[in-house]
A and B are shown apart, each in its own frame.
Chain A
């Protein structure tokens, strides 16, 4: 099982908005079954794009303010930030292909 680093309100600015490389944020929580189904796909993507894209998670129960700020009402949701700017948002369970689509479409913006 892959344990993506969890980012809360205190570190979101530095680790996501201020990051040097693009960041994918998975909004999740302990009760999210689809997140568990999706996890191996997200892990493959994190491994594939290691060094180019960072993957972190936000627990919506432990960080309700972040969920509120980004209007997250259901999980899983993936957000891609590039240079502190929100570039893409995917709601619901996603596949490797959809994640790769999102990354490839926005990686150019990181250059």
Chain B
């Protein structure tokens, strides 16, 4: 980033960035962009790769392009893009609804997690060395015991504790860690920690793969009726495979859990989490310390 801050301090460059985003003109806007592509995009518009990785990641706030556009629009030319990321990390830490601070408060992980937050707070003027980040992370991960719901929040803080110059996707990485921690917490409360969900889906994929191997694809000239019959056959055979594994009831329970618990959670957490990004963008990194 140049010394003049976000968009090189130029409102016209900000307008160009928004137009480029709308046109899908640069591969760096893509969520699967390489680090080089993301850094080139950041260079074009006086931003940083870590900041871009943060605003490009959210998935719960409607169309991605609209979400990125909203976030960029909230950034004043000249703002401190890396300061915005630090500010956002701190707002995640202390978020009143879903923050790691409240979840870890009564655990041995609280003090080391708080030390990470403090290091982030000081990062603008006195960036910790890679060695210090590792020590902070190690202290956090050695602190226990933690429940599996709390371990997810420890992973959020462990995802923050990296040197941003060597971890250019840090913002997006923490977003994912936070999302997973909140989802996992709800899952743990209802007997469906993420690891158990992942294993069940893996079993389902195993059954589907076996079914496709046995049945093959429908003929390319199959009629709509034949395709429907084939699809029904695939589903029945996949379900039979799940039944053989004794997982049909689990599958039903998991789908009910998604409907009853995860849907309302996502409806609340998605906008709340996205707001933390918009707020940090609007503050321009000024409250993250010098």
Residues of chain A whose beta carbon lies under 8 Å from any beta carbon of chain B: 1, 33, 36-37, 39-41, 43-44, 47-48, 71, 73-74, 91-93, 95-98, 100-101, 104-105
B137 in complex: contacting residue of A73, A95, A100, CB < 8 Å: A100
Measured CB to CB, the nearest residue on chain A to B134 is A48
- Size range of the chain B interface in the assembly: 35 or more
* Chain A residues, Cβ within 8 Å of B168: 40
If over half of B's interface residues share one DSSP class (helix, strand or loop), that class is named, otherwise mixed; here it is: helix
- Residues of chain B in range 149-179 having any CB-CB distance to chain A below 8 Å: 151, 154-162, 166-170, 172-174, 176-177
Count A-B contacts at CB 8 Å.
87
A73 in complex: contacting residue of B151, B158, B206, CB < 8 Å: B206
- Chain A nearest Cβ from B208, distance in angstroms: 8
List 15 extra interface pairs beyond A41-B167, A98-B159, A101-B155, CB under 8 A: A33-B31, A36-B32, A39-B35, A44-B166, A48-B162, A74-B205, A95-B174, A95-B176, A96-B158, A96-B159, A96-B162, A97-B161, A97-B174, A98-B180, A105-B141
Tell me the bound Cα distance from A47 to B35 in angstroms.
Answer: 15
* Chain A residues, Cβ within 8 Å of B180: 95, 98
Given contacts A74-B201, A96-B162, contact A41 B169 (CB under 8 A): yes
Give 21 A-B contacts (CB < 8 Å), ordered by A residue. A36-B32, A40-B167, A40-B173, A47-B166, A48-B130, A48-B134, A91-B198, A95-B180, A96-B159, A96-B177, A97-B137, A97-B155, A97-B157, A97-B160, A98-B177, A100-B137, A100-B141, A101-B141, A101-B151, A101-B155, A104-B138
